[in-house]
Amino acid sequence: MMVAVPLAGAEQRLLHPSVPVAFFGLAALAHLGFWLLLALLPERVAVIGGPGPGLAAVHMLTVGVLAAAAVGAVLQILPVTTMQTAPPLWVGWALLVLIGGGGTLLVAAFLTISVAGMIAGALALGVGLLLFAGLLGRLLWKARAAGLPDTLPAVAGAAVALAGVVALAVLLAADYRLAWLPDHGAVAAAHLVLAGYGFMGLLVVGFSHILVPMLAVAEPPAPRAGRTALVLALCAVAAAAAGLMGGSVFLTALGAVAGLVASVLHVDTMVRAHARRMRKRLGPSFVLIRASWLLLPLSIAAGLGALAGIVPPLVFGVLLLPGWLLTILLGMLQRILPFLASMNTVRRCARPASATALVWAAPLKVLAVLHPAAVALLTLAAALDAPLLTRAAGVVGVAGAIAFLIHALTVGVRALRHRRRVGPKPVRPGGTAATAA
């Protein structure tokens, strides 16, 4: 089997298109907003010790881009890969209101330094993310016999980590008013580790075993090939978070070392799958995906350096968030968006559109140059504490974000044009649309 995703009948397991469009649209706009904040307020975004533009930018990236895109993608990809019915439309919109609305309120509250807004935003966002975690658990339970031994345990670990992220987020927001945490900074660092490496990181690791072989047209890794890396990653996240909250440098460092080993094993599995590909020219998306394989262990090494006091902590944050996570997300999304749009034309149109016909390559080539350049500039700015370089990174990042937005809009416009050109799927005498074989 060359593709790790059961595509037969996949169009019947798709969400209503308005749900992924809304989540991915939110992610694309927040992506632009993140780089705009850096370009407009370079001196203030580097200060992340308390409420202000710095935390607003961080949460615009983590909630607005990473979490929104992850929720939109997982709600669609997991039912397709496990051959389950997609969640109903009302669930998708409830998640969008809670996560999108709560995240927007939280970012606005950080910008205006409104403690009441922070608490309200964290609570709304927390309810939305817990609802998503519960839905994820339900999908995982129903899919336990689906035969995805590396993906499903990783997604389960991500769901557990997400519950920890939400709990710490509410504690941190309330601490601005109640001052009940003995070390706010340590809890915030544990929150970052659980969010970055626990929730998002485990999702990336789990779904990479499906998406990388699918996108590269390669044999998927052998079953349980990633099990050692996954066990190490779970132990690493738990140890690092516990060490940070408990004030144990040894336990934190032990978790970081275990995470570094896990990252090397994971990257090795991905590189081996990539080397066995049938499709030799993979396009701009794999420029970013391959770059992310370097950024993952580099971010953990920077975390160890920050723990030892030889690397500025901000460098670690840059390499983790706009570095590893945003880079691999942009690489995956530029292939996922046309794939899902194509699947929806199978369900709705008389003749389906191919994914490649929905893509304009020019903005993706621009993004493949500008995004790594923006990350490199921002890393250098964090290392040198240079606001001018932060502004430069923001300007370059804005240009890259516009290129990605053009890509997303092009996919949507071409899918709509295709539907109007070929017409809807013929209706059977019983009143239902004919299903493509």
Beta bridge partners of 424: 349
Q: Which two tokens stand for residue 74?
A: 């997982």
Kindly report, residue by residue over 264-310, the tens digit of the pLDDT: 999 999 999 888 888 788 889 999 999 999 999 999 999 999 999 99
Predicted TM-score (pTM) of the model is 0.91
Paired tokens of 236: 């690493």
Contact, 203 vs 327, CB < 8 A? no
pLDDT higher than threshold 50 for residue 186: yes
The 10s digit of each residue's pLDDT in 358-406 is 999 999 999 999 999 999 999 999 999 999 999 999 999 999 999 999 9
Residue 7 DSSP label = -
Chain centre to alpha carbon of residue 259: 19
What is residue 148's predicted lDDT score, i.e. its pLDDT? 72
> How many angstroms separate the Cα of 71 from the Cα of each of 35, 91, 162, 176?
22, 12, 12, 28
Tokens read off for 274: 């990539």
* Residue 48, pLDDT above cutoff 80: no
Tokens read off for 164: 């920890």
Identify which of 102, 122, 35, 86 has the alpha carbon closest to the alpha carbon of residue 330.
35
pLDDT digits 0-9 by tens, 49-108: 778 899 999 999 999 999 999 999 888 888 877 777 788 889 999 999 999 999 999 999
> Is 307 or 223 the better-scoring residue by pLDDT?
307
Structure tokens at 376: 């490199």
CA–CA separation, 219 and 237 (whole Å): 29
Q: Does the structure show a pLDDT above 50 at 168?
A: yes
Q: Which pLDDT score, from 0 to 100, does residue 432 have?
A: 45
Nearest to 270 by CA among 216, 307, 316, 319: 216
pLDDT above 90: residue 215: no
Distance of CA 133 to the CA centre of its chain: 15
Report helix, strand or coil for 382: helix
What average pLDDT does range 185-210 have in this prediction? 93
Report d(CA 37, CA 394) in Å as an integer: 7
Sorting pLDDT into bands at 50, 70 and 90, what band is 152? confident
Report the C-alpha gap between 418 and 421 in whole angstroms. 5
- Of the listed ranges 233-247, 250-264, 270-284, 326-340, the least confidently predicted one is 270-284
Q: Which residue has the tokens 């993608």?
A: 73
CA distance 72 to 59: 17
pLDDT (0 to 100) of residue 435: 39
Q: Please say if the pLDDT value at position 127 is more than 70.
A: yes
Query: pLDDT-based confidence at 428, cuts 50/70/90?
Result: low
Residue 239 vs residues 117, 185, 317, 318: alpha-carbon distances, Å = 32, 17, 19, 22
Burial class from Cβ neighbours inside 10 Å (0-12, 13-18, 19+) for residue 275 reads exposed
Question: pLDDT for 5-40, tens place per residue?
Answer: 444 455 556 778 888 889 999 999 999 999 999 999
pLDDT digits (tens, 9 = 90+) for 99-117: 999 999 999 999 999 999 9
What pLDDT score does 433 carry?
A: 47
User: Considering the chain, what percentage of its residues have pLDDT values greater than 90?
Assistant: 62
Binned at pLDDT 50, 70 and 90, residue 431 comes out as very low
What pLDDT is stored for residue 340 in this prediction? 85
Mean pLDDT of the chain: 88
Instruction: Provide the pLDDT confidence category of residue 146 given band limits of 50, 70 and 90.
Output: low
The predicted structure's pLDDT at residue 287: 95
Backbone torsions φ then ψ of 277, nearest 5 degrees = -70, 150
How many percent of the chain have pLDDT more than 70? 92
pLDDT for the residue numbered 360? 93
Strand partners, 277: 218
Measured between alpha carbons, how far is residue 327 from residues 29, 66, 129, 255, 351 in Å? 16, 11, 23, 24, 34
Element (H, E) at 178: helix 151-178
| Long-range Cβ contact pairs of 88-92 (< 8 A, separation 24 or more) | 89/15, 89/16, 89/18, 89/19, 91/135, 92/15, 92/16, 92/18, 92/19, 92/22, 92/23
